[in-house]
Structure 1
Amino acid sequence: MKTPETHRFLPLLILSALLPVFLQAQELPPDHPISLYRQGMEYRRIGDFYRALELFRAATRKNPAYFDPIFASAELFFQLEEYDEALKMVDAALRLSRTDSAARVLKARILVGMGKFKEASDLYTNLLREEPNNTEARLGKAELDLALGKNRNATLEYLDTLQRFPDNRRALLSLGVLLSQQGNVQEAETYFDAALRYHSDNPLVHYLVGEYYFRQRKYDLAVERAKTALSIKPDYPEAHQLLGWISFQQGDYSEAYSRMDRLLSLNRSNPLGFYLKALSALRLGRKDEGITLLRSLVTLAPEDEVARITLEDSLKEHLPVEDNLRKTYAQYHFDRGDKFHDRNLFQRALEEYRRGLQIDPYSKRGRLAYAEIQQKIGFPGYAYNSLEFLKKQNLADRTAGEQLEILTSILSDRPAQRWQYDQFINRKPTLSLSLFVDLSSGALQHGFSELFLARYLADLLIGIPSIQILAPPMAVHTFGEAFQEARQRGTDYFIFLSFGETAREFSIQGDLFLSRTGGKIETFSVYRTGNDRVQNALLQVSSLIKGKLPLRGELLKREFERALVGLGSADGVKKGDKFLILPAQAISLKNDSIGFVYSPKEILGTFTVTDVDDLLCEGTVVKEGFFDRINPGDAVIPYEEQKPKGEPSPSPTPPPSALMLYKKILRIQ
């Protein structure tokens, strides 16, 4: 029979028996798999993911059946958004432990990141059927709902988690971010306050709450949270970045500049630190330093499209057209244009040459290449105009002179020459646009880059002959500001833009409104990943806008039954197209859709195209009724209701706003 003393003594016996095992575990050699794994976890804790991965690989080489480093590698690759590698590693972990819940949840999260939503959904369904109280699976399912734009479902998952675990950090912060994104500010603050109450020692909590206050323009509170995050974790780069943003937003560019110096002292190659430091220098009037910093950033990260766009815009704004730096950075686009040209990607080549010429308008190489590509895609008028510019600037060489002679012959029997009408000087745009950037939505990794991106889009739109941009893009915080400004400008339409950017994705969402009434006409959204994602997204948006806007021309000249109209092949007009002719004041834009409103009684006649030029077309006029009331200055619109052209907005994939919200919440670990 065991006495009470025996019961008290038994744990001591067990402990003494296990002590050598504990000591042995502590004294493992440095190259033992367990030691390597522990070292890797320590590097992971301090944020050195690459060193951690190296140690996890070393542990796995020593013991290929060691689950922990394989699973940890999968987690890190997931955090680095290397989803293919993460999937490979988590599958390897599951081969060692098929029913491991954490690995199954991670695999589902990876599949969501890869856009394989159906596979991820099936995994979550099966796992939650087996383990209905698995909190990580429920939070992962909420991430899937967010990526699909099912915000209500995600909200319910987070609320259900908080009913069971009121202090769950991921649920509290995710719900706060989600609600703030939806404009439910008071509710969002409730959950942020709870996160601060339960997790006051966590720097991420303070940072996210500070970021929220920054978006709400409560700058003092944002500063307090960011500084608290730094008091817990002094080398927290995101908190330094947030303090820099706050200072920049408040106009304290010196403090923003100094803060970025502190950030760069932690990591000299931090591109976002370079970027905001450069913008701060530009705002302080130190244009040479700002441009030098942007040049350094483009050298450091050649794939950083936003930095390059900002640099090019700064060169155009601050340096004279003959400056050698402008020539240097224009050369980049001419080289890219040549590469696209060699691959017969003529439209992409054209856009590169156009961009290069915006930076260096007097480039002989650029003008010749631009003229050649225009001629190849069927616009000899544009080609001639480009070479004529070189001639007027005394920059034309023998090659340019020979090309001008050839083009003069080609153009001699086209409408512009027959009617003696300079299509590039006298043909005017027929629709005006205003561009506004919505600062209250969207989230950009490159803080304060919105206007640079909007200006790039404006530069693309200026290349569409029917569109006129009356003023540079403007940043606003509310729709009302944009509506009021657009009405005062008197533009036909205005576009309300928001941008989203992470390290690997870029998105644009735009709402097209009628300036007269503020009525929404159309919404378009574009999401891109991979190389050239920013440029590709902006190009697609310009194509969408061109395809959506209604076509309207002006009757420029008339001789009996023949007439010249200000629409050409660059507008998509071709021989045989038929148009209605109406008094210019008799038509107006529709309030709720693309198109025109007019009374059939106002129709003066029809115009049928018989020949086209780049920006003009010639055709025959047939009057409506007994009296001939058709005169120059009348409006010409498509005979049939115009169908939208261009690429449709992607519909099978979730909207960019959903994917960006998902990415933001994904940071919450």
Structure 2
Amino acid sequence: MKKSACKFILFVFLSLFAAVYAFAVPSGTYSALDYFSEAEQLRNRNDFLGATELYREALELNPKYGDAWYSLALCCYNLKNYDLALEYAGNAEKYSKNMDSVRNLQGMSLVCLGRLDEAEKIFSSILETSPNNIDARFGLAELDLLDGKISSAEFLYSEALKRDGTNRKALLSLALVSAEMGKTESAANYISQALESHSGSSEVHYLAAYLAAKSGNLREAELRARSAIQIQTDFDDAYALLSSILYTQGRYDEVLDICLFRIGRNRNLSDAWYLMGLSQKKKGDVEGALKSFETGLSLNPQDEVMRACFEQTVADNIPVEDSRRQGWASFHISKAREYAAKFDGPGERFEYQKALSVAPLDLSVRQNFADLLSREGLYELYLKQLDFISANSVPVVTQEDNVRRNENSPEVKKTAVQIRNEDSAEALKNLMAGNLSERWNVDPFYLDKTRWNIGLYFQKKNVRLIHADLEEIAVRAAGDIFSAVPSTSVDVLTEPIGGYSDAFRHARSSGRDYFIIISPEESERSFGLKAYIYSARTGTKTTEIDIYRTGNDCMARTLRRFRRSVLDILPIRGKIVSATNGTLLVDLGRSDGITAGSKFDVVRRGSIRTKDRGPGITYDEKNILGTFTAVTVNEELCSGEYKKRGFYDVMNAGDEVVLVELSENSGSSESVASSARPAADSSGEPVVQNSESNEDASSVKEALKIQPRESELVGLIRNII
């Protein structure tokens, strides 16, 4: 009996040991189907990284497992590895039975890779064989959104919903599209249906929070965002949205808590560092904000909005003598050298100007900028930079060989650069001894050349998914880029306006010529700017500008193009500085695109006004005092012959000249027109070709062709799982 009991106990023990061992070492017993089943569970919980590993394990055991290839491609798509998604979908196509799903995934991957024509062919071919396929309609709808055909996209999503009345992606996409079109009631209806049919989906609550915030219902938005987090505790996008909602409400301490929580889980979240810096700035902790921005930029150096915000914070709060400014300007110095290597003069100049705005006392940067001006033939500006460098240079004792020493003293006298600068300055002063500024005893750099007063305004969205305060940062950056334009005075209102009437009232009362309402948009890989330009005198629309750029430096390239587009509609106007014996001195020169033989109307001071509609200026015939023809043209000044109109000469210094006709030499090397000067005739048509007009071929193509546009809306719909 005892022996039987012992045998039974031993049998039970061995059975339990075998079971435990089987669970402890599953690799020998797991099949491809087992790995696939576990991976599916992880994918359904949005753990795409964990699922990817298990799908690969399944494919190691069965390389012809079509469903595993397809699911692995789905994970890569959701992780934004679109090349891999396309490759794995191709493998799935060899072995999978569900061909339409595989081909739809191929099409969506092609859309994300920018191969839109190939994607459209795939979706259209699917609908030819499967007219009720919903996913193909989703693909075609996204193509319409990229082309700006939002109504067509709405129709396709509606057709998809007719075929599946509770389809989550159809309901959420229609809610987002309706909100974008201003159909608030329809958007609320679709999101309510989605919440009713998919109440356990964190994604549905997340998008409900976004739409509530977009409509201004921040309380509802906060509740929905918290619901999304409760359903899926590792939903980082929901934490980011909640922090943006709280930031909009001014609850900065709570924002900081969430940002620290997100950073604690993943220190590489540059957007969390950005929002933390904004919140610290709002609380008055400038040093903390600068450190947060610096950390964020070290993680993502190409985040142009964060860099602009960082530099604006530096400009507002840090003394120009602060030694840290030189380090902060290093990014722009590197970019300038990159542009120089590509022989892109306007880009190089822009980056050196940005570097000098951050570190104006950095003489090495100013030296590089001066050398650039010399290469561009702007010798008067070059001489001014040399004078500044000489006045601010500090002698440094060194043992280097590139210095001149007194043989009887170890004291350093001058470096090689100082010697070269002094020699260049002396030579230039000798060459310029007979120029107009010397002959007329006028320093052109002390003249007030302001001809145009422009106001910049913006309206603010309630919530931004990538960069909070984007509008304020973008409008300040747009204003800053005009700081190098001597003929324009740009006033930036850093508080949002309620609408067009507020902007018109403010601009008219401030005596502006034009006012511009700016609307920036961004995605992870693009930046766009819509600008509506109005006459501040009449309130009528002058023109509108729509610019979109993708890739690196997309914000900087957009802003440069915006400046050029504005200057292209501003007529070239000058002022009479002095007059003697029928000869006039005018404050226009080669930098403005003027060459000998250019003709102007001389107009009574204060009689020029903007046109009632469209670009350009107008003035009464009775206010034309005569004509002026440029004969001698320097960089910033020109002189020439004045012919009066009528019997009496009533022209005085301070009266204006308006370009009527450029000479035939305007395109020759004699002109060194700057990209930072007005370039239009009196009708507002550009007549001067400046240094930035010769963009590289790819930029010209990008500026002219109709491009597929990434946007916040497209990004949200694309991420719906």
Fold similarity call, TM over 0.5: yes
- The 1:626/1:96 distance shift into structure 2, 3 A limit, reads farther
Asked whether the 8 Å contact 1:94–1:100 carries over to 2, the reply is yes
| Structure 1 stretch displaced more, 164-173 or 475-484 | 475-484
Q: Within the alignment, does 1:434 sit opposite 2:486 as a pair? A: no
Q: 2 CA distance for matches of 1:517 and 1:71?
A: 61
Q: Quote the offset at 1:40 in angstroms.
A: 4.6
Q: Quote the offset at 1:642 in angstroms.
A: 4.3
Q: 1 CA distance for matches of 2:79 and 2:651?
A: 65
Q: Within the alignment, does 1:236 sit opposite 2:278 as a pair? A: no
- The 1:123/1:626 distance shift into structure 2, 3 A limit, reads farther
- The 1:659/1:548 distance shift into structure 2, 3 A limit, reads farther
Is there any run of 5+ residues in structure 2 with no aligned partner, and where?
Answer: 1-21, 396-417, 662-682
Q: 2 CA distance for matches of 1:29 and 1:414?
A: 91
Q: 2 CA distance for matches of 1:313 and 1:425?
A: 27
1:143-542 counterparts in 2 under 5 A? 143-395=142-394, 397-440=418-461, 443=464, 445-471=466-492, 473-542=494-563
Q: 2 CA distance for matches of 1:375 and 1:279?
A: 40
- The C-alpha deviation readout for 1:216-239, integer Å capped at 9, x for no partner, is 221111111111111211222222
Asked whether the 8 Å contact 1:111–1:119 carries over to 2, the reply is yes
Q: Within the alignment, does 1:624 sit opposite 2:645 as a pair? A: yes
Q: 1 CA distance for matches of 2:222 and 2:651?
A: 66
| Structure 1 stretch displaced more, 558-567 or 637-646 | 637-646
- What SS is found at the alignment partner of 2:136? helix
- What SS is found at the alignment partner of 1:500? strand
Q: 2 CA distance for matches of 1:472 and 1:407?
A: 42
Q: 2 CA distance for matches of 1:632 and 1:98?
A: 85
Give the RMSD, CA atoms, in angstroms.
2.8
- What SS is found at the alignment partner of 2:336? helix
Q: Quote the offset at 1:99 in angstroms.
A: 7.5
2:713 aligns with 661
Asked whether the 8 Å contact 1:414–1:612 carries over to 2, the reply is no
- The C-alpha deviation readout for 1:226-256, integer Å capped at 9, x for no partner, is 1111121122222222222222212221222
648, 652, 656: which one pairs with 2:705?
Answer: 652
Q: Quote the offset at 1:38 in angstroms.
A: 4.6
| Structure 1 stretch displaced more, 629-638 or 189-198 | 629-638
| Structure 1 stretch displaced more, 385-394 or 287-296 | 385-394
Give 2:576's aligned amino acid.
L
- What SS is found at the alignment partner of 1:650? helix
Q: 1 CA distance for matches of 2:36 and 2:597?
A: 73
Q: 1 CA distance for matches of 2:313 and 2:45?
A: 37
Give 1:233's aligned amino acid.
Q
- The 1:597/1:137 distance shift into structure 2, 3 A limit, reads same
- The C-alpha deviation readout for 1:284-332, integer Å capped at 9, x for no partner, is 1111111111111122222322222222222222111111211211133
- The C-alpha deviation readout for 1:602-658, integer Å capped at 9, x for no partner, is 3322222333333333332233344433332222222154423657883532474x7
Asked whether the 8 Å contact 1:310–1:449 carries over to 2, the reply is no
- The 1:505/1:560 distance shift into structure 2, 3 A limit, reads same
1:7 aligns with none
Asked whether the 8 Å contact 1:173–1:191 carries over to 2, the reply is yes
- What SS is found at the alignment partner of 2:256? helix
Per the normalisation by structure 2, the TM-score is 0.83
Q: Quote the offset at 1:357 in angstroms.
A: 0.8
1:141 aligns with 140
1:12 aligns with none
1:17 aligns with none
- The C-alpha deviation readout for 1:112-167, integer Å capped at 9, x for no partner, is 33333333333222221211111111122111111111111111112222233222
- The C-alpha deviation readout for 1:187-238, integer Å capped at 9, x for no partner, is 2212122222222211111111211221222111111111111121122222
Asked whether the 8 Å contact 1:466–1:571 carries over to 2, the reply is no
Q: 1 CA distance for matches of 2:35 and 2:708?
A: 43
Give 1:416's aligned amino acid.
S
Q: 1 CA distance for matches of 2:38 and 2:434?
A: 78
- What SS is found at the alignment partner of 1:639? strand
Q: 2 CA distance for matches of 1:605 and 1:543?
A: 31
| Structure 1 stretch displaced more, 306-315 or 172-181 | 306-315
Q: Within the alignment, does 1:611 sit opposite 2:632 as a pair? A: yes
2:572 aligns with 551
Asked whether the 8 Å contact 2:333–2:355 carries over to 1, the reply is yes
Q: 2 CA distance for matches of 1:269 and 1:408?
A: 54
Give 1:586's aligned amino acid.
S
Q: Quote the offset at 1:95 in angstroms.
A: 4.5
Give 2:657's aligned amino acid.
V
Q: 2 CA distance for matches of 1:518 and 1:444?
A: 33
- What SS is found at the alignment partner of 1:225? helix
- The 1:28/1:364 distance shift into structure 2, 3 A limit, reads closer
Asked whether the 8 Å contact 2:134–2:163 carries over to 1, the reply is no
| Structure 1 stretch displaced more, 214-223 or 590-599 | 590-599
Q: Quote the offset at 1:276 in angstroms.
A: 0.7
- What SS is found at the alignment partner of 2:468? coil
- The 1:378/1:132 distance shift into structure 2, 3 A limit, reads same
Q: 2 CA distance for matches of 1:30 and 1:486?
A: 76
| Structure 1 stretch displaced more, 342-351 or 37-46 | 37-46
Q: 2 CA distance for matches of 1:610 and 1:54?
A: 76
| Structure 1 stretch displaced more, 260-269 or 88-97 | 88-97
2:685 aligns with 643
Asked whether the 8 Å contact 1:108–1:123 carries over to 2, the reply is yes
Per the normalisation by structure 1, the TM-score is 0.89
Q: 2 CA distance for matches of 1:415 and 1:45?
A: 77
Q: 1 CA distance for matches of 2:47 and 2:465?
A: 24
- What SS is found at the alignment partner of 1:153? helix
Q: 1 CA distance for matches of 2:478 and 2:309?
A: 13
Q: 1 CA distance for matches of 2:645 and 2:64?
A: 86
Q: Quote the offset at 1:271 in angstroms.
A: 1.2
Identity of matched residues, %: 29
Q: Quote the offset at 1:441 in angstroms.
A: 8.7
- What SS is found at the alignment partner of 1:427? coil
Q: 2 CA distance for matches of 1:114 and 1:548?
A: 36
- What SS is found at the alignment partner of 2:481? helix
- The 1:448/1:391 distance shift into structure 2, 3 A limit, reads same
| Structure 1 stretch displaced more, 158-167 or 622-631 | 622-631
- What SS is found at the alignment partner of 2:383? helix
- What SS is found at the alignment partner of 2:703? coil
Asked whether the 8 Å contact 1:507–1:527 carries over to 2, the reply is yes
Q: Quote the offset at 1:406 in angstroms.
A: 3.0
Is there any run of 5+ residues in structure 1 with no aligned partner, and where?
Answer: 1-22
Asked whether the 8 Å contact 1:381–1:613 carries over to 2, the reply is no
1:563 aligns with 584
- The 1:430/1:157 distance shift into structure 2, 3 A limit, reads same
User: How many residue pairs get matched?
Assistant: 644
Q: 2 CA distance for matches of 1:436 and 1:444?
A: 22
- What SS is found at the alignment partner of 1:234? coil
